Chains A and B, each alone.
Chain A
Amino acid sequence: MNETEEFAKDFDNLPVLAEVSDQRERARKRPAVASVRVSPGPYFTLAAVLTFCAALLLRIHYDGSALLLIAAAWTILPILAFTDRIVFDGLSLRRQGPLSTLLHLLTRYRKQLAIDDFETMETHAVRTLRRGGRVRYRYRTQINGKGKEFVIVSGGRDYRRLVRELFPLIHENKLDNRTRDLRDYLHDPSFLNKKAELSHLASSAILDVAESDFKLGGKSHARRDDAQSEASAEDLERARLLRRLGNELRVSGRLREAGEAFRRALNVRPNGAWLIYDFARLLRSQASAQADARLLSRARAALRLASIRARNDVVLLPLIGESFLECGDARQARQALQKVVEIDSGNFKARVGLADIALREGKLAHVIHHYQEAARESAEQALARYARGESEYYMNLNNDDDYLATELRRISWLQNVTRIRRMALRVTNSSVFLALIASLIDPRVGSFAWSVASSALFVWLFSLLGTRMLVGRSKYASPASAG
């Protein structure tokens, strides 16, 4: 194609580009349906680093600069942290705030992602506090699509509103198990309190001291198997409501009460596959909160029972497979997912799950096959794009030894740098602590500790930069194009 033709083509595209630009501008002006503050962690980390630098400046008698730096660190940064938000306007998610505006003015770049372009949504629960049977969770939801990434770390009212408004609009196959849980079961604490009260559940204070001898699938349940067939419609509805309540309590971190709700539900309906699956997830949460390996094995056992009871349920089985993977049982996960694929060969979640397992086993050809199948069968554009992207990536790894070596090297470096970063952070913190104490006793030891802290901080910053550089996949240059 010559230059004139290219220009003509570009010229033809101009109205389209203008329309896209208009759309973006309109999207920017749309009112926010829900918004959540961006995690202030990085801002406070930066403020802490700047404070350290200010202390250093103070030490070398640059008092004015130190004052200026510390003032900037603790006025500008908190303001930026407070105003930096992720906004959902009903159609797209965007970053909003002074920093984002500044970035837009400087680079014309605005971080925005339409919900149709979401490819994956993954949520991790970060346990912040544990008291008895109650755990306080903070959630970290990571949204990826079109090479962009939004990370929302929260657990508060704004987050719950965002979950309510945004999550139901997202395609089921884009959500992981926990995101799905949040979508279905996350409620305001006051609402949940009322619901628990109406269900006459014992309070967590009582449950904490009560002995729990409840065993899933025990003899007592076997005896009740026959009774279940005789359970009235009212009982079944009660079991459904209790299951829902149990999930809501689990998601809110009220694990002991959730256990009680599930116990009651299982007494009514001991063979419900969904109920057993949800109970298994509760056991998994408890195992994680109490760092109890026995509970984790019980969770696995419950999942096995759920997979038996699920029979040919192609909605539940992929979820069970995913939960097996969370529990570290790849063999059972494969069995569950394989069963789904046998029934419904185009099941996206099952294909992606099987690709994940194949990757753990180092079977690149299987990974490619599963992603290709997922891409072929998926009617949803973003999901197909995601699966295609993954299959291409693994295909490149499979076909090009140099690229595979490059990626392995990158991953190995990423692991090393992450390890170094963690260690550097620990050394920094302990050295600062030591320096503060030692300075009072022996200035020389104090100075040594400050020096170590500075060095470790430098290493930490350096490794942070390294992590950022290494976290993205290497660009693939095909041998043909390279030649």
Chain B
Amino acid sequence: MDNLTHSLVGLTAAKAGLERLSPGATALCIAAANIPDIDVAILLTGDRWTYLQHHRGITHAIVGVVALALLLPLIFHGVDRLWARLRNRPPTTKLRGLMIASALVTATHPILDWTNNYGVRFFLPWNPKWFYGDLVFIVDPYMWLILGGASCLLLANTPAKKIACLVCAAVLTTIVLVAPRRVGFPPPFFFTAFWIVGLVTLIVLFVVGAGRRFGNKIAIVALLLVPIYWTFLTYAHSRALNNANYMASEIAASRGETVARLAAMPTLASPLHWECVFETDRATYRFRLRLMSDNFPDSRVVRYEKPSGKLAEAMEAISGERPVHVFLGFARFPVARFSDPACITQTLVQLADLRYTEPGSTRGSFSLEVPVDCPTSTEGGR
């Protein structure tokens, strides 16, 4: 998940009661909710492939989360003691409270991340297997609204905080409603309506003083709403998988292939739209489906044949290269093709993870182009 969601989870957990465990627990909860993403520090010493290799790695695994959950409160407490000594006052934080808060909140990070289609390697360093929840899109505005709304209701008790909450709400509304329209991807109507109704509800709750009246119950309810939302998504996901399975079988049968594995993955702000990728014995396919509609793909079906012949040889030749090795370790549905099959001297092998993009398009570390000598004849591709 994005760090805004993680931070909101930490903040809401603090407001739900963890803040009472120790002074400074709120700050610790926010830090603990984000601490596994400390793996970004690897960029200081390595390149983007190093980052891809280690992102959502050991810091998101059981071992790493336990270690971080223990270390963070100790650092907090240590800094507080040092600060207290410098200021000649007694330390204020309570280590036991910080430990409990840290343990609870740090654990939410890998769970939240698991719900995405990016995946988490829970059992590192013992087992590098990725685990995918495929429930929630990596950026989920519904969770922003639920958790952010609850946090704002409980936090905005001074004019400065009220202004900060208003600014945040305005910025987020711009990001989720206005910006996508500008780049030609208008958000679904349902989401637009939900967001506006949500904002209005929050303003009404704020005006009637719900924050003062209900206190931390609001945060508890917000935190409970998250698993309820996930339950709904789990149901939608199972429906999507059923439909996708039916469609994939039809598509594969029309080409005389059989479905080997299939995934239905969430899309931004739309629980009804699911991105489906499946693999057969000869190719990998991608299409989009819409729930509560006819059993037809909602978009064109993209097909990439599995590397064979010269492409397989080229893949074999480049598989020793570090970026390729890292990319193939990460990619869930890797596909490849030559950029110019009719080349004269050199061409590129274009790799992509079909979850996110297609070969030839430049989308961060989710695609890769590796120069190779031209093959005498080529096979594979779209």
Contact partners of A462 in chain B: CB under 8 A: 70
B48-85 interface mask toward A, CB cutoff 8 Å, 1 = contact, 0 = none? Answer: 00000000000001110011001000000000000000
As a 0/1 sequence over residues 105 to 123 of chain B, the CB contacts with chain A under 8 angstroms (1 = contact) are 0000000000000000011
Shortest A429–chain B CB gap in Å is 17
Specify which of B66, B96, B125, B126 is in contact with A459 (CB 8 Å cutoff).
Answer: B66
Measured between alpha carbons, how far is A402 from B91 in the docked complex, in Å?
12
Determine whether the beta carbon of B63 is less than 8 Å from that of A454.
yes
Question: Is A42 an interface position by the 8 A CB rule?
Answer: no
Which residue of the partner chain A has the closest CB to B122?
A451
Nearest CB of chain A from residue B58's CB, rounded to whole Å:
10
Chain B residues near A56 (CB-CB < 8 A): 125-126
Note all chain B residues with C-beta closer than 8 A to A451.
61-63, 122-123, 126-127
Contacts of A447 in B (CB 8 A): 123, 126-127, 129
CB <8 Å contact, A458 and B63: yes
> In the bound complex, do residue A455 and residue B127 qualify as a contact, i.e. CB atoms below 8 Å apart?
no
Shortest CB distance B159–A (Å) = 39
Render A403-430 as a binary contact track against B, CB cut-off 8 A, 1 for contact: 0000000000100100000000000000
Decide: A59 and B126 in contact? CB cutoff 8 A.
yes
Task: Determine if B125 and A59 form an interchain contact, defined as CB atoms under 8 angstroms apart.
Answer: yes
Residues of A within 8 A of B62 (CB): 448, 451-452, 454-455
Q: Of the candidates A416, A450, A458, which one forms a contact with B126 in the assembled complex, judged by CB atoms under 8 Å apart?
A: A450
Closest to A483 in B: B88
For chain A, residues 158 to 202, give those with C-beta under 8 angstroms from any C-beta of chain B. none
Task: Determine how close the nearest CB of chain A comes to the CB of B76; give it in whole angstroms.
Answer: 16
Pair B129/A458 contact, Cβ less than 8 Å: no
Chain A residues lying within 8 Å of B63, measured Cβ to Cβ, are: 451, 454-455, 458
Within 8 A of A (CB), among B117-143: 122-123, 125-127, 129
Task: Please report the C-alpha to C-alpha distance between residue A444 and residue B126 in the assembled complex, in whole angstroms.
Answer: 10
Give the distance in Å from the alpha carbon of A455 to the alpha carbon of B58 in the complex: 12
Q: How large is the interface on A (under 10, 10 to 19, 20 to 34, 35 or more residues)?
A: 10 to 19
Q: Are A454 and B70 in contact (CB under 8 A)?
A: no
Complex interface: chain A residues within 8 A of B67 (CB)? 455, 458
With both beta carbons as reference points, the residue of chain A lying nearest to B61 in the complex is identified as: A451
A60 sits at the interface (CB 8 A):
yes
Q: Please give me the residue from chain A that is nearest to B90 by CB atom.
A: A402
Closest to A439 in B: B126
Contact with A along B129-166 (1 / 0, CB 8 A): 10000000000000000000000000000000000000
Interface residues of A in 99-135 (CB under 8 A from B): none
Contact with B along A458-483 (1 / 0, CB 8 A): 11001000000000000000000000
Which A residues, 352 to 388, have Cβ-Cβ distances below 8 Å to chain B?
none
Given contacts A451-B61, A451-B122, contact A444 B127 (CB under 8 A): yes
A452 partner residues in chain B, CB cutoff 8 A:
62
Chain A residue contacts of B129, Cβ below 8 A? 444, 447
Give complex CA distance A382, B125 in Å: 53
Alpha-carbon distance between A52 and B67 when the two chains are bound, in angstroms: 17
> Can you list, as one digit per residue, whether each of A5-21 has a CB less than 8 Å from chain B (1) or not (0)?
00000000000000000
| Complex Cα–Cα for A451 and B128 (A) | 12
Query: Which residues on A sit within 8 Å (CB–CB) of B66?
Result: 455, 458-459
**Does A328 make an interface contact (CB < 8 A)?**
no
Residue of B66, B70, B96 with highest tally of chain A CB at under 10 A: B66
A contact residues around B123 at 8 Å (CB): 444, 447-448, 450-451
Question: In chain A, what residue has the closest Cβ to B70?
Answer: A462
A60 and chain B: residue at smallest CB distance: B125
Q: Which residue of B lies closest to A406 (CB)?
A: B90
- Find the B residue at minimum CB distance from A454: B63
Q: Given the complex, which residues of B lie within 8 Å of A450, measured CB to CB?
A: 123, 126-127
A443 interface hit (Cβ, 8 Å): yes
Say how far A413's CB is from chain B's closest CB, in angstroms. 8
- CB-nearest residue of chain B to A55: B126
Looking at B123, B125, B126, the one whose CB has the most chain A CB atoms below 10 A away is B126
Which residues of chain A are within 8 angstroms of B125 by Cβ–Cβ distance? 56, 59-60, 454
Which residues from B are CB-within-8-Å of A443? 127
| Chain A positions 35 through 63: 1 when the CB is less than 8 Å from some CB of chain B, otherwise 0 | 00000000000000000000010011000
Nearest chain-B residue to A402 (Cβ)?
B90
Residues on A with C-beta less than 8 A from B90 are 402
* A388, chain B: closest CB distance, angstroms: 30
A446 and B127 alpha carbons, distance in the complex (Å):
9
Which A residue sits closest to B94, measured CB to CB? A409
Query: Which of B23-64 touch A at CB < 8 Å?
Result: 61-63
Contacts of B127 in A (CB 8 A): 443-444, 447, 450-451
Least distance between A336 CB and chain B CB atoms (Å): 40
How many angstroms between the C-alpha atoms of A215 and B90 in the bound complex?
A: 61
Which A residues lie within 8 Å of B96 (CB)? Answer: 413, 416
Report the Cα distance A452→B129, complex, angstroms: 16
**In whole angstroms, what is the CA distance A455 to B125 when docked?**
11
Q: Please give, as numbers and ranges, the residues of chain B lying within 8 Å of A413 by CB-CB distance.
A: 95-96
A187-B125 Cα distance, complex, nearest whole Å:
53
Taken together as a complex, chains A and B put the C-alpha atoms of A451 and B127 apart, in Å, by: 9
Task: For the complex, give the distance between the alpha carbons of A444 and B128 in Å.
Answer: 11
Chain A nearest Cβ from B80, distance in angstroms: 15
User: What is the chain A residue whose CB lies nearest that of B123?
Assistant: A447
Among B90, B95, B125, B129: residue with most chain A CB under 10 A = B125
CB distance from B297 to the nearest CB of A (A): 33
Q: Which of chain A's residues have a CB closer than 8 A to the CB of B95?
A: 413
B126 closest partner in A (C-beta): A450
What residues of B have a CB within 8 angstroms of the CB of A416 in the complex? 96
Cα–Cα distance between A59 and B127 once the two chains are bound (Å): 8
Among candidates A59, A448, A459, residue contacting B70 with C-beta atoms closer than 8 Å: A459
Assembly CA distance A482 to B200 (angstroms): 57
Q: How far is the CA of A454 from the CA of B126 in the complex (A)?
A: 9
By a CB distance below 8 angstroms, the chain A residues around B126 are 56, 59, 446-447, 450-451, 454
Q: How many Å from the CB of A55 to the closest CB on chain B?
A: 9
| Cβ–Cβ < 8 Å partners of A402 in chain B | 90
- Chain B residues near A59: list those with CB within 8 A: 125-126
Q: Which residue of A lies closest to B88 (CB)?
A: A482
Minimal Cβ-Cβ distance residue in A for B128: A60
Cα A413 to Cα B129 in complex, Å, equals 38
**CB-CB nearest in chain A for B131:** A444
* Residues from chain A with Cβ under 8 Å of B122 in the complex: 448, 451
In the assembled complex, the CB of A61 is this many whole angstroms from the nearest CB of chain B, namely 10
A residues 433-457 near B (Cβ < 8 Å) are 443-444, 446-448, 450-452, 454-455
What are the interface flags for B325-357 relative to A under an 8 Å C-beta threshold, 1 for contact and 0 otherwise?
Answer: 000000000000000000000000000000000
Residue of B whose beta carbon sits closest to that of A456? B66
B252 → chain A closest CB, angstroms? 28
Known: A59-B125, A448-B122. 16 other contacts (CB 8 A): A56-B125, A413-B96, A416-B96, A444-B123, A444-B127, A446-B126, A447-B123, A450-B126, A451-B63, A451-B123, A454-B63, A454-B126, A455-B67, A458-B66, A458-B70, A459-B66
Residues of B near any A CB (own CB < 8 A) = 61-63, 66-67, 70, 90, 95-96, 122-123, 125-127, 129
Could you list 25 examples of A-B contacts with CB < 8 Å? A59-B125, A59-B126, A402-B90, A416-B96, A443-B127, A444-B123, A444-B127, A444-B129, A446-B126, A447-B123, A447-B127, A448-B122, A448-B123, A451-B62, A451-B63, A451-B122, A451-B126, A454-B62, A454-B63, A454-B125, A454-B126, A455-B66, A455-B67, A458-B66, A462-B70
Q: Pick the 9 closest A-B CB pairs, nearest first.
A: A447-B127, A447-B123, A455-B66, A450-B126, A451-B62, A454-B63, A447-B126, A451-B123, A455-B63
Identify the A interface with B (CB < 8 A): 56, 59-60, 402, 413, 416, 443-444, 446-448, 450-452, 454-455, 458-459, 462
